[in-house]
Amino acid sequence: MAVPIAVPNLGEEMAGGLVAEWYHPDGAIVDAGEAVCRVESSFVAVDIEADETGLLRHRLPAGSIERPGAILGVILAPNESMPPEESFHQEPASMLAVAEPAESSTPSEGAKPEAAPESTPPTLALVDDDFVADVLEDAIASPPSEGLGPLPEFEEALIEAVVVPFPLKFSGTPGRSWDEVPGDSVEFDSGLFGDGIDESVAIPEPGGTIPGLPLWTPEEPTALRSEAAPQDDEAGQRFGRISREAHASAQVLTMTMTVNLKEAERMRSAFEREWHPGGPQPMLEDVIFRAIAWALEDTPFAGGIGAIIVATPDSDLAFALREPASRSFRDAVTARAAVGDEAFESASWLLVSLAALGVSSATPHLEPGRGMSFALGAEDEANRASLKMAYDSTRWSEGSAARLLKRVRDILDLPYAMLT
């Protein structure tokens, strides 16, 4: 039977948490005990694990804020279908028992993994006085009976349009595969993404248990790490040495993209009037470069197709949207901002899309050297042009070029995901 994945009850003061990230896409097979998603408050991050092995189905997207007990998704057995939406709104009997620490003392030594609850899937109704929850509920209640099938554009977009406190930022729900975007292709040098990037991978246990030692591997001092803060009289020498080392190990990340200029032009037109009021009107290149620069450089904001962040002037609200060029969508945002009719127009916003600009391929590679450049190639008969960007690794911290490449790959692999 379907095993629910619920927001844990973290304590009486914890009204809810941000569903920060799904670790696996909708429809993935997960193993029992594997972390499937992360719920966060301002000071604690909780990984929620799968109680059973099975097919993971998302119910609520990352980026939403949910109360304890809210069902975020389910794990289905083979050939099992998604339970009807109504079943998620039944008043539960056992949810809090699942989520809270056991009432009685639990032996901590040699504790066996707990069996999945025998009762019916425990649920709690979504918060009905919460505007966001209402929107989500409406949007989710309306899809076809087959479950999480394709939604009409606007409703689908509403699922993404989740209001969160601004500092929490977003992550999104992977909803479509890249293959569904016709004519697109993505190529990567997979050898670049291998080492030390995926933090979700369990740390291999080399042997020994607490307090069995050695638990440490000898630290290898590096030039940058092995010294304390520089003394004043050493600062000059130190700076020179760091600079020489950085130059010696510099690499250039070159990213060649194929951009559909027609799409990019469409986006430019759509945004022309909403460009930052204090700045010049955007040129085509401005849109392209800004979007891609944000997606690549600004780690918290890396968007999928049509992803856009709108921050109200006081930056206490933000929206994650899909299809920002849609008039109806902008109207909806304006209405929802609830701080005045011109909220959207007066908002500062950041475009973080790649695919909405018609980026159809991206091939990153690293080579030694230094330099930064942008180059837009000539347009071909299919309105496509190559866009080449080169970033100097000395602009980034150690290893960030590899992380950056991984981000690019993630964005293109899951074009609808907003990654934080």
Partner 1 sequence: MTMTDAYLQTKPRELAVYDLGTTSYEEVHRLQQRLQSQRREGHGSDTLLLTEHRPVFTLGRSHPRPDLRVEETTVRQYGIDIVQTERGGDITYHGPGQLVAYGIVDLRGWNVGVLDYVRGLEDVVIGVLADWGIRGIRSEVGRGVWIEDRKIASLGLNVRRWVTMHGIALNIDPDMGHWELINACGMRDAEITSMANEAGKQVPYQEVLEAFVFHFGRVFEAEMRNVEVPGRGPSHG
Residues in contact with partner 1 by CB under 8 A are: 9-14, 18, 20-21, 33, 35, 38, 40-47, 49, 100-102, 104-112, 167-169, 199, 202-203, 205, 209-211, 213, 215-217, 219, 224-225, 227-230, 238-239, 242, 298-300, 394-397, 420
Identify which of 280, 305, 292, 282 has the alpha carbon closest to the alpha carbon of residue 375: 292
Encoded tokens for 7: 């927001």
State the minimum distance, in angstroms, from the CB of residue 102 to partner 1: 6
Which CB, 42 or 79, lies closer to partner 1?
Answer: 42
Q: Which is nearer to partner 1, 202 or 378 (CB)?
A: 202
**CA-only gyration radius of the chain, Å:** 24
Residue 397 C-beta: closest distance to partner 1, Å: 6
Task: CB nearer to partner 1: give 11 or 340.
Answer: 11
Least Å distance, CB 312 to partner 1, is 18
DSSP-assigned beta bridge partners for residue 54? 30
Q: What is the SS3 string spanning 208-257? A: CCCCCCCCCCCCCCCCCCCCCCCCHHHHHHHHHHHHHHHHHCCEEEEEEE
CA pair distance 51, 49, nearest whole angstrom: 6
In Å, how far are 46, 67, 88, 99, 241 from 9, measured between CA atoms? 11, 8, 17, 5, 51
Residue 390 CA to residue 371 CA, distance in Å, equals 7
CA atoms within 13 A on the CB side of 307: 33
Nearer to partner 1, 225 or 327 (CB): 225
Nearer CB in complex with partner 1: 107/191? 107
Cβ proximity of 300 and 167 under 8 Å: no
Widest pairwise Cα distance in the chain: 72
Shortest Cβ 247–partner 1 spacing (Å)? 13
CB of 298 to partner 1, least distance (A): 7
Instruction: Please state the closest distance from residue 297 (CB atom) to partner 1, in A.
Output: 9
**CA 346 – CA 348 distance, rounded (Å):** 7
Shortest distance, position 253 Cβ to partner 1, whole Å: 16
Dihedral angle, C-alpha 34, 35, 36, 38, nearest 10 °: 170
Q: Are 152 and 314 in contact (CB under 8 A)?
A: no
- Closer residue to partner 1, CB minimum distance, 9 or 260: 9
Closer of 142 and 397 to partner 1 (Cβ): 397
Contacts of residue 373, Cβ cutoff 8 Å, sequence gap at least 6:
388, 389, 390
What is the nearest approach in angstroms of partner 1 to the Cβ of residue 230?
Answer: 6
Residue with Cβ nearer partner 1 (152 or 230)? 230
Q: At closest approach, how far in Å is the CB of 136 from partner 1?
A: 20
Q: Is 41 helix (H, G, I), strand (E, B) or coil?
A: coil
